[in-house]
C-alpha cells in the first residue's frame, strides 16, 4: 500500500482524554480515526500523539494533512 485511504472529506471532532493516542494513518481502521491494527503489512504506521488535558481536537479524515494527525484544511482541496 503506497497511499492511505481517505475515510471522509472532513475532520473527525473527537473529545480526547489525557494520555497517548494513535491516529490511523492508513485509513483502514474500523475504529476511525484511531488505529485498530489494520495497517499491519501496509508499510504505513499509525501516528502517536499525546494530550495533557481533556480537550476536543480535529483529526484528519482525508489523510492529506501536512500536520498529522491534526486537520489542516487539506480536505477542502480534494
The pLDDT, as a whole number, for residue 1 is 79
Cis before 27 (ω within 30): no
Taking the model in full, what pTM does it have? 0.94
The predicted-structure confidence for 25-77, as pLDDT tens digits, reads as follows 999 999 999 999 999 999 999 999 999 999 999 999 999 999 999 999 999 99
How far apart CA 7 and CA 52 sit, in angstroms, is 27
How far apart CA 76 and CA 29 sit, in angstroms, is 23
How far apart CA 68 and CA 57 sit, in angstroms, is 12
Amino acid at each position: 500500500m503506497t497511499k492511505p485511504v481517505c475515510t471522509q472529506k472532513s475532520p473527525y471532532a473527537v473529545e480526547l482524554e489525557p494520555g497517548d493516542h494513535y491516529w490511523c494513518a492508513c485509513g483502514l481502521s474500523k475504529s476511525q480515526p484511531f488505529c485498530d491494527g489494520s495497517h499491519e503489512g501496509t508499510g504505513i504506521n499509525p501516528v502517536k500523539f499525546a494530550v495533557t488535558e481533556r480537550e476536543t481536537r480535529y483529526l484528519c479524515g482525508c489523510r492529506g494533512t501536512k500536520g498529522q494527525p491534526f486537520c489542516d484544511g487539506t480536505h477542502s482541496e480534494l
